[in-house]
Amino acid sequence: MDLRQLRYFVQIVESGSLSKASRQLFIAQPALSTHMARLEEEVGRPLLVRSARGVVPTPNGDALYRHAKFLVRQFDEAVFVARQEYFDLKGRVTIGLAPETACMLGLPLLKHIREKYPGIVLNVVAVHSGYLEDLARSGQLDVAILFSKTAANELTFEPLLEEEVYVMLPRNSGILPESKASLTLAEAAALPLILPSTGYGLRRQIMLEFERANLQYEAVAEIDSLLLAMRYSAKGGGVTIQPMASTQAFDLPEGWRCLPISDARMMRTNYLYTLPIQKLSAGASVVRSELKNVVRNLVESGSWKGVRLIEEAAPRISAEDAGRRAV
């Protein structure tokens, strides 16, 4: 199996027919059929179902398609980036981050890009995830970290990391005894909660967990500013429920207590979204790759706590790619 065979296979699946794929690839249809027969022989499973209406992938073929698409894309991107004069890369790259993500990732990424690629100007947009999704869908972001697999169907995405959500309060707060190392969902619901408004994905996740457990809770304040929410909690206004990166928004001399919820899986997946490779500028392609490196370094060094890296997998295709595949 080689990259050429995988490229041919991807094109056949996306074209929906051997004849159309042969025209796209500028290869004779009999030769293309021979390549596919060899590929199926090597895999040991049928990969395509042929009919008068065209070809569609089998379940094994669909699995291969998703990974082959990723490999071909990564190879093309690697060649594209390798041909650039890195130091001479210039341009503006707009990246969207939620405020809590920006608190942890923003400064290291800015410094890293500035040192390695001084010609790239990063435009960091740090707003709540709902607004980020609107910006991504309208094509105003080159790169973004979002929290849903359906945030922007026109963009390519891949899972980046999982972060745990904690009950947070100042270390010197008297709201909870110092001996408490974790909380049940019922214990968390009984606390004076400082939460974002219901338009936020994090708030909806919290509400869903409480509803599943048939628990009532009281929000003593709804604050859509991360900095203000953390400052209000620091002044004794209540506790908040946030990923650990949020502690970087407001530094307390005594520090923050971050208590996990023991009887509910309070996790949030971060997805890295980018424009499709054919629309991605050289600068944006570099920023995408360097962002992943910076995130990995932060996690592996222990600087970004309460998170787990997700092993690299094939990025999900955009709706545009999916549409071509269905033709």
How far is residue 191's CA from residue 80's CA, in Å, rounded to a whole number? 53
Q: Would you put residue 16 in left (φ > 0), alpha (ψ -120 to 50) or beta?
A: left
What kind and span of H or E run contains 308?
Answer: strand 307-309
Same-domain pairing of 131 and 196: no
Give tens-digit pLDDT for 113-167.
999 999 899 999 999 888 899 888 888 899 999 999 888 887 889 999 999 999 9
Residues 162 and 270 sit within 8 Å (Cβ to Cβ): yes
Q: Is 143 strand, coil or helix?
A: strand
Average pLDDT, the chain: 88
Same-domain pairing of 263 and 294: no
Last residue of a domain, one of 63, 82, 101: 82
How far is residue 288's CA from residue 276's CA, in Å, rounded to a whole number? 12
Same-domain pairing of 70 and 100: no
Same-domain pairing of 189 and 236: yes
Q: Which residues span the domain enclosing 60?
A: 3-82
Q: Is the pLDDT of residue 54 over 90?
A: no
326 falls within a domain: no
274 falls within a domain: yes
276 falls within a domain: yes
Q: What per-residue confidence (pLDDT) applies to 309? A: 95
Q: Is 301 strand, coil or helix?
A: coil
151 falls within a domain: yes
Residues, the chain, total? 327
How far is residue 261's CA from residue 165's CA, in Å, rounded to a whole number? 8
Higher-confidence position of 197 and 86: 197
* Least trusted range by pLDDT, from 168-172, 196-200, 229-233: 196-200
Number of neighbouring beta carbons within 10 Å of residue 158 = 17
How many domains in the chain? 3
Q: What per-residue confidence (pLDDT) applies to 24? A: 87
Same-domain pairing of 179 and 243: yes
7 falls within a domain: yes
Same-domain pairing of 203 and 171: yes
Q: Is the pLDDT of residue 270 over 90?
A: yes
- At 118, which CATH number? 3.40.190.10
Q: What per-residue confidence (pLDDT) applies to 322? A: 42
Over range 184-195, report the average pLDDT: 96
16 falls within a domain: yes
Pairing of strands 91-97, 239-243: unpaired
The confidence band for 313, taking pLDDT boundaries of 50, 70 and 90, is very low
CA of 176: how far to CAs of 188, 213, 220, in Å? 10, 22, 17
In this prediction the pTM is 0.70
- At 235, which CATH number? 3.40.190.290
Q: Is the pLDDT of residue 310 over 80?
A: yes
First-to-last alpha carbon distance for the chain, in angstroms, is 27
227 falls within a domain: yes
The confidence band for 323, taking pLDDT boundaries of 50, 70 and 90, is very low
Q: Is the pLDDT of residue 314 over 50?
A: no
- At 78, which CATH number? 1.10.10.10
- Closest by CA position to 249, among listed 234, 266, 268: 234
Give tens-digit pLDDT for 83-121.
665 556 788 999 999 999 999 999 999 999 999 999 899
Pairing of strands 256-260, 120-126: unpaired
Same-domain pairing of 185 and 280: no
Same-domain pairing of 144 and 280: yes
Residues 118 and 240 sit within 8 Å (Cβ to Cβ): no
Same-domain pairing of 179 and 250: yes
Phi and psi at residue 192, in whole multiples of 5°? -75, 110
Q: Is 128 strand, coil or helix?
A: coil
The confidence band for 275, taking pLDDT boundaries of 50, 70 and 90, is confident
Same-domain pairing of 122 and 260: no
How far is residue 253's CA from residue 139's CA, in Å, rounded to a whole number? 41
327 falls within a domain: no
Same-domain pairing of 196 and 263: yes
Give tens-digit pLDDT for 34-47.
999 999 999 998 99
- Residue 239 CA, chain-centre distance (Å), reads 27
DSSP string, 31-63: HHHHHHHHHHHHHTS--EEEETTEEEE-HHHHH
- What residues contact 79, with CB distance under 8 A and at least 6 apart? none
Same-domain pairing of 170 and 238: yes
